[in-house]
Amino acid sequence: MSEIVKVALAGLGTVGGGVAKLLIEQSDILYNRTGKKIELIAVSDLDKSKVASLNLPNSVQYYDDALKMIDETTADIVVELIGGADGIAYKICQKALAAGKNFVTANKAMIAHHGNEMAKMAEQSGSEIGFEASVAGGIPIIKSVREGLIGNKINEVYGILNGTCNYILTVMRETGKPFDEVLADAQKLGYAEQDPSFDIDGIDTAHKISILGSLAFSMPIDFDSLSIEGIRHISALDIAFSEELGMRIKLLGVGRKTEKGVSLNVYPCMIPQTSEIAHVDGVFNAVVTEGDFVGHSMFVGRGAGERPTASAVVSDIADIAQNRSVPMFNIRKGTLSELQKISLSERCGEYYVRFEVIDQPGVVADIARILGKEGVSISSMIQRGKTGKTVPLMMTLHEAVEAKVQKALNEIEQLSTVTAKPCMIRIERL
């Protein structure tokens, strides 16, 4: 890379605007640190008015068409901050890599769905791909896993990867309010989208943990193999009882590698309050890794937003500007291999379950009998005063195989005294 590194930026939304600001405001710092003049030479956005609000230097060319921008400029690095797994974002990626440009993105959906092809394209054209901003926003977790922990076999990686969910769960705990109400408030405050399903149903977390899992375990991205569960079913009662149990509920992406294979999933967990990650609240993200030499490490920071995400995007630009290249999936081509996947039904762990039952003799006995039949034993039980015709009944279960727990819950759901689908939350002693 020559002394002047030219950047073309596609997408001037929240993050794109932040990157433009950072490159301009901190150009001296970046030059002093990297020895390279990193110049924003072109930007593209369908909406030209966004350019005006950014006060860009006159030297920055505007395009309404990002593909045309790639054709007509001599950028060393194309930055895509439009989003979406496919569509224009992926066209930009393909065109940039085909043209031998280096490519930087914050697009977790694209990497989760097309990461393997992207890595292949980059290899063929000799380009670099930077995607630090795709996981956990401002936290330099991709750099830490691929470079900082390079000497380690990582056998576990998990984290709070979605600020919206963490915010909702935090406010539910602090206020005792139900999920729907807190979600509605979060939408008003701009912490949740009008269509929140991408966040609260765990898809966004799944994109991120699938990326982290690939890096940590050196395997190709395999988004479709993930089991994904969101937080819609978490009630104020579950939150209150988790506190009584000395636990806290967090939506986690969880990746584990054992001799049997790799499990990579997204689900809400009850974790002990003594765990550090239990105290990562609000919109913050956190990632925990377990390496065979380094042991337990945790990385906490802002997982989204204009400025934190811009910080991550620019760290990729700086790395590429300085020729600090790293294999995309933390391993050189040819050495990446598929690993055996372990499904969530094989999980062996503890569980919290909540039933809504008609308050009459024999209910607990029926439930206990069905659990017992599957070899699942109860570790603790709480029943509280009536809330109407039915009462909530909470149990924690000793370590058991999930398929058996699930089978028992399905049978319990059929009982005439059980009035709603049982709620199950996995307990993780992190």
Q: Which residues are catalytic?
A: 208
Q: Locate 376 and state its tokens.
A: 């699942």
Q: Is 422 in the site for its own copies (CB under 8 A)?
A: no
Instruction: State yes or no: residue 429 binds its own copies (CB under 8 A).
Output: no
Q: In the set 54, 237, 318, 401, which binds its own copies (CB under 8 A)? A: 318
Using the rule CB under 8 A, is 54 a contact of its own copies?
Answer: no
CB of 260 to its own copies, least distance (A): 20
Residues whose CB is less than 8 angstroms from the CB of residue 282 and which lie 6 or more positions away in sequence, other chains included: 163, 166, 167, 170
Residue 62 binds to its own copies (criterion: CB under 8 A): no
Q: Residue 194 CB: number of other CB atoms within 10 A?
A: 5
214 binds its own copies (CB under 8 A): no
Three-state secondary-structure class, residue 326: coil
Closest by CA position to 42, among listed 12, 84, 82: 12
Question: Is residue 9 involved in binding its own copies (CB under 8 A)?
Answer: no
Quick one: which segment of 85-93, 112-120, 272-280, 377-385 binds its own copies (CB under 8 A)? 272-280
151 binds its own copies (CB under 8 A): yes
Applying CB under 8 A, does 221 fall inside the site for its own copies?
no
Choice between 204 and 316, CB closer to its own copies: 316
Give the nearest distance from C-beta 322 to its own copies in angstroms: 8
Query: CA-CA distance, 382 to 354, in Å (whole number)?
Result: 10
For residue 303, state whether it binds its own copies (rule: CB under 8 A): no
**381 phi, psi to nearest 5 deg:** -145, 140
Half-sphere exposure of 133 (CA within 13 A, CB side): 30
Q: Is residue 312 involved in binding its own copies (CB under 8 A)?
A: yes
Which of residues 64, 71, 86, 147 is near its own copies by CB under 8 A? Answer: 147
Q: Which of 294, 381, 382, 420: binder of its own copies (CB under 8 A)?
A: 294
Instruction: Report 169-188 residues binding its own copies (CB under 8 A).
Output: none
Instruction: Decide whether 229 or 428 has the Cβ nearer to its own copies.
Output: 428
Q: How far apart are CA 430 and CA 298, in angstroms?
A: 12
* Residue selected from 207, 302, 354, 426 as contacting its own copies according to rule CB under 8 A: 302
CB of 297 to its own copies, least distance (A): 4
- Total residues contacting its own copies by CB under 8 A comes to 61
CA distance 302 to 162: 10
Q: What is the 3-state secondary structure (H, E, C) of 202-264?
A: CHHHHHHHHHHHHHHHCCCCCHHHCEECCCCCCCHHHHHHHHHCCEEEEEEEEEEEECCEEEE
CA distance 45 to 23: 17
Per CB under 8 A, 29 contacts its own copies: yes
Q: Which stretch binds its own copies (CB under 8 A): 40-48, 82-90, 161-169, 295-303?
A: 295-303
Question: Any contact of residue 297 with its own copies (CB under 8 A)?
Answer: yes
CB of 114 to its own copies, least distance (A): 23
Query: Going residue by residue from 114 to 133, which x/- string records binding to its own copies, judged by CB under 8 A?
Result: ------------------x-
Q: Would you tell me how many other CB atoms lie within 10 Å of the CB of residue 122? A: 21
Q: Check residue 393 for interaction with its own copies (CB under 8 A).
A: no
Q: Which is nearer to its own copies, 36 or 207 (CB)?
A: 36
Q: Does 26 bind its own copies (CB under 8 A)?
A: yes
323 sits near its own copies (criterion: CB under 8 A): yes
C-alpha span between 204 and 310 (Å, rounded): 19
Cα pseudo-dihedral 276, 403, 425, 203, rounded to 10: 80
Distance CA 197, CA 201 (A): 5
Binding to its own copies by residue 83, rule CB under 8 A? no
Q: Are 176 and 224 in contact (CB under 8 A)?
A: no
Indicate which single residue of 120, 296, 373, 429 sits in contact with its own copies (rule: CB under 8 A). Answer: 296
Tokens 């006060």 correspond to what residue?
Answer: 55
Rounded alpha-carbon distances, angstroms, from residue 378 to 109, 257, 267, 284, 414: 40, 28, 22, 34, 20
Chain positions contacting its own copies, by CB under 8 A: 18, 22, 26, 29-30, 32-35, 132, 138-140, 143-144, 146-153, 218, 274, 276, 278-280, 284, 291-302, 305, 307-308, 310-312, 314-315, 318-319, 322-325, 327, 330-332, 335
